[in-house]
Amino acid sequence: MASPISADDLTLSEKASLASGADAWRTKPIARLGVRSVMMTDGPHGLRKQVPGAEQSGLGESVPATCFPPAVGLGASFDVDLVERVGAAIGLEAALEDVAVVLGPGINIKRSPLCGRNFEYFSEDPLLSGALGAAMVKGIQSAGVGASLKHFAANNQETDRMRISADIAPRPLREIYLRGFEHVVRQARPWTVMCSYNRINGVYSSQNRWLLTDVLRREWGFDGLVVSDWGAVDDRVSALHAGLDLEMPGGDGRTDQQIAAAVESGDLDVRILDATVERALELVRRAGERPAPSTALDVDAHHRLAREAASRSVVLLKNDDETLPLTSAARLAVIGAFATQPRYQGAGSSLINPTRLDNALDEIRALSEAPVTYAAGFSLDPASDATALRDEAVQAASAADTAIVFLGLPAEAESEGFDREHIELPVEQLGLLEAVLAANPRTVVVLSHGGVVALPFADRVPAILDGSLLGQAGAGGTADVLFGEVNPSGRLTETVPLRLEDTASFGNFPGEQGHVTYGEGVLVGYRWYDAKNLDVAFPFGHGLSYTTFSYGDTQAVMRDDDVLIRVPVTNTGQRAGREVVQVYVSAPESRLTRAPRELKAFRSVMIEPGETVEVELTVSREDLAHWDVESDCWRVEGGSRVFGIGASSRDIRGTAVVQVAPDSSTAPLTRSSSLEEVLADPLAAELIRQTVFSMSTQMPGVAAVLDDDVMMRLMASFPVGRLPGYGGLPITSEMVDGLLAAANQARAAGAGETR
């Protein structure tokens, strides 16, 4: 058997050629050595492989593929198994088209509801984003096709996206914006990671050695290939230094020449280039090891999966007086242009050419035994007669038992490439709804949108279904939920605010003069609303069912270093249904800025009527850690943790308290350390007490100060290096230095014993 090709077998020009694409979608081949070209195509909720001859640099026609619910919809399932199944289907379709890498999933945080690309991202929460992202990667790669985790990192807006600097402090950068990526890299081992366009704290992601090498490779152990977002490279040689392997799309060979020249001049160590070459060759090897698919695409089966995923992604926001589910004998008026012209995916590079496309009117009629009338109510064509359309809708609603009004954002309102300016639905749609409500109070609203929208009518409409974007079978999935063929189980992955002004990033989005300040710190999404005690329209994690669930006593126990939570959940209604059990953790004794509660585990559980299921969830010790700025590492604070179990971030059904042991500090105490910081360390505090006690004859009042809460609060922030001579205290610099040295030595010895 021939030895595998390595970097040593390539000439310098051949090595440099593997660092950029051959065209918009393919890597460069090396015919002399039999290294073939492999193809990457857009995702992430389906395959967007452009047909031969389509404009390479544009968004031309693509081959038919199943359009599954985008992340804004699929994320609402809160179901890692379902997401993995969808990923496997996407991977199979990619394999059938001889695609090596699907460019997805996207797991960036929904920092602001205005981000034009929020439809491509899962959540405002990093744990949920990371768990669902890992499931998608595992699914895609189970078919022998690589995934490309994107956009690494802090790609949270479209305004000036090619240049904007996301200026983020270390704690939120680690705890919010990198944490999901870390989880996916460690748990799912994606073949590739795609760097983002933006800068982070002034440095382009493509040229950020700290991000691509220190964190991604050395700290997280990533061993795959780093690819640029299309057009994200500003300086190719600097990017190669930083750890970016593949520049996409391909060009005229100019940057290949720059790389070769840098090696020849000594400005670039050839070993850096060789490492990139080995990763490029490994990608080609992985793609070549995939066996040819044994069957053709089962379009019907994938459409059924898309429908299942869509129905599981619908969120029942409100259902007063059991307005839903509908009965098949009810006279229905279906109103709204989206009922016949579905809004089912976002716009931009993820635009899928669906294998088929359902519409809600047809699907509702298929499940109804009574006549179903339809009125557009509004038009997606601004030249239409709005008054006549509204009058027609009012007439239809007046004659129906129930009116179903389809509202949402038109495609031109949100897209890759620009951000929204507000979160309001179109004025003509809101006016239509008011007229329909006046004609028939028994009205159901169905929403279609890629980003959160304000719901000023929520207190007056008896039932609201949030359909976000649900893919090609979304209309069928919505009909299934409307008629109770599927019991809704979706949950909000993003808080629905009352006003844009209430959002955490308001005033710090989208920035100016090339910079955007992430001034809200770690208080992103529901963390912000809870910390500020703000009312919201609907909270993170919220979603209703056609049945009811009760929670028993919550138990939480330590299992090794993790916390095992058990809670019995009973279906107390008449229908089988899914409950999404969510675990939120509070740290009431923390000295850090923290949200009142943070999601740390979740599980979607199917429960039959009258059945009780004991649900087990695990919270890892790692997920209890915060990023410690002083020691530049993850640390767990000691003290109590309150584990709240519930059905949303604001619907906690039970709690349990566990005492958590602290991590030993690795940051040495110095003369700049405050008295509070020194006394917070058990070893240092004990040394100080022993010293003060031994000198009590010289300092009769000082010993009492340590137990005086008022004085300690006053002196808490005082640097210990300034104590000598302060207020006549008989404390010398030598004494302080000796105490610090002894404390640091004892801490180091203690840390060594625990390793």
Please state which architecture CATH assigns to domain 300-538: 3-Layer(aba) Sandwich (3.40)
With beta carbons less than 8 A apart as the criterion, state whether 388 and 377 touch.
Answer: no
Cis bond upstream, residue 151 (ω within 30) = yes
| 696 band by pLDDT with thresholds 50, 70 and 90 | low
Helix (H/G/I), strand (E/B), else coil: 237: helix
Q: What is the rounded distance in angstroms from the CA atom of residue 344 to the CA atom of residue 357?
A: 9
Query: For the residues 705-715, what does the mean pLDDT come to?
Result: 73
With beta carbons less than 8 A apart as the criterion, state whether 274 and 12 touch.
Answer: no
Query: For the residues 637-656, what does the mean pLDDT come to?
Result: 97
pLDDT at 752 over 60: no
Query: For the residues 293-305, what does the mean pLDDT come to?
Result: 94
pLDDT at 647 over 80: yes
pLDDT at 423 over 60: yes
Q: What is the rounded distance in angstroms from the CA atom of residue 65 to the CA atom of residue 55?
A: 19
pLDDT at 590 over 60: yes
With beta carbons less than 8 A apart as the criterion, state whether 49 and 326 touch.
Answer: no
With beta carbons less than 8 A apart as the criterion, state whether 239 and 259 touch.
Answer: no
Q: What is the end-to-end Cα distance of the chain in Å, rounded?
A: 45
Query: For the residues 249-255, what does the mean pLDDT come to?
Result: 89
Query: For the residues 426-439, what does the mean pLDDT come to?
Result: 98
Q: Which residue has the higher pLDDT, 753 or 150?
A: 150
Domain boundaries, the chain: 13-289, 300-538, 549-660, 675-754
Class of domain 13-289: alpha beta
Q: How far is CA 133 from the centre of its chain?
A: 8
Which pLDDT does position 53 carry in this prediction?
A: 66
| 715 band by pLDDT with thresholds 50, 70 and 90 | confident
| 700 band by pLDDT with thresholds 50, 70 and 90 | low
Q: What is the rounded distance in angstroms from the CA atom of residue 436 to the CA atom of residue 442?
A: 9
Element (H, E) at 753: helix 733-754
pLDDT digits (tens, 9 = 90+) for 175-217: 999 999 999 999 999 999 999 999 999 999 999 999 999 999 9
Specify the range with the lowest mean pLDDT, choosing from 235-249, 263-277, 321-335, 709-723: 709-723
Q: Which of these, 302, 379, 303, lies nearest to 341 by C-alpha position?
A: 379
| Local structure of residue 707 (DSSP, 8 states) | T
pLDDT digits (tens, 9 = 90+) for 519-566: 999 999 999 999 999 999 999 999 999 999 999 999 999 999 999 999
Query: For the residues 249-277, what does the mean pLDDT come to?
Result: 95
Which pLDDT does position 693 carry in this prediction?
A: 66
pLDDT at 380 over 80: yes
Query: For the residues 651-673, what does the mean pLDDT come to?
Result: 89
pLDDT at 461 over 80: yes
pLDDT at 667 over 90: no
pLDDT at 567 over 90: yes
With beta carbons less than 8 A apart as the criterion, state whether 29 and 22 touch.
Answer: yes
Classify the C-alpha dihedral 258-260-265-270 as positive or negative.
positive
| 711 band by pLDDT with thresholds 50, 70 and 90 | confident
DSSP letters for 491-558: --SS-EES-GGGSTTTTSSS-BTTEEE-TTTT--THHHHHHTT--EEE-TT--B-SS-EEE---EEEE
One fold for 300-538 and 549-660: no
Rounded to whole angstroms, what are the CA distances from 719 to 27, 140, 715?
A: 57, 54, 9
The length of the chain in residues reads 755
pLDDT at 124 over 80: yes
Q: 658: which residues sit within 8 A by CB, 6+ positions away?
A: 556, 557, 558, 563, 640, 641, 643
Specify the range with the lowest mean pLDDT, choosing from 143-152, 277-286, 603-612, 663-672: 663-672
Q: What is the rounded distance in angstroms from the CA atom of residue 340 to the CA atom of residue 321?
A: 28
Q: What is the rounded distance in angstroms from the CA atom of residue 328 to the CA atom of residue 332?
A: 9
| 60 band by pLDDT with thresholds 50, 70 and 90 | low
Query: For the residues 423-442, what does the mean pLDDT come to?
Result: 98
Q: Which of these, 145, 153, 165, lies nearest to 129 by C-alpha position?
A: 153
Name the active-site residue from 42, 79, 125, 229: 229
pLDDT at 55 over 60: no
Angle at 53 between CA 49 and CA 54, to 5 degrees: 55
CB atoms within 10 A of CB 722: 12
Q: Over the chain, what is the mean pLDDT?
A: 94
Q: Looking at the DSSP assignment, which residues form a beta bridge with residue 193?
A: 149, 226
Query: For the residues 94-98, what does the mean pLDDT come to?
Result: 97
Element (H, E) at 199: strand 199-200
Which pLDDT does position 739 carry in this prediction?
A: 83
| 754 band by pLDDT with thresholds 50, 70 and 90 | very low
Q: 446: which residues sit within 8 A by CB, 6+ positions away?
A: 336, 338, 360, 404, 405, 406, 407, 464, 465, 467, 478, 482
| 492 band by pLDDT with thresholds 50, 70 and 90 | very high
With beta carbons less than 8 A apart as the criterion, state whether 232 and 173 touch.
Answer: no
E-strand ranges in 78-160 read 101-103, 146-152
CATH number given to 549-660: 2.60.40.10
| 3 band by pLDDT with thresholds 50, 70 and 90 | low
| Local structure of residue 428 (DSSP, 8 states) | H
Considering just the CA atoms, what is the radius of gyration of the chain in Å? 29
Q: Which of these, 424, 429, 426, 478, lies nearest to 451 by C-alpha position?
A: 424
- Concerning whether 42 is annotated as a catalytic residue, the answer is no
Alpha helices (H) along 189-235: 209
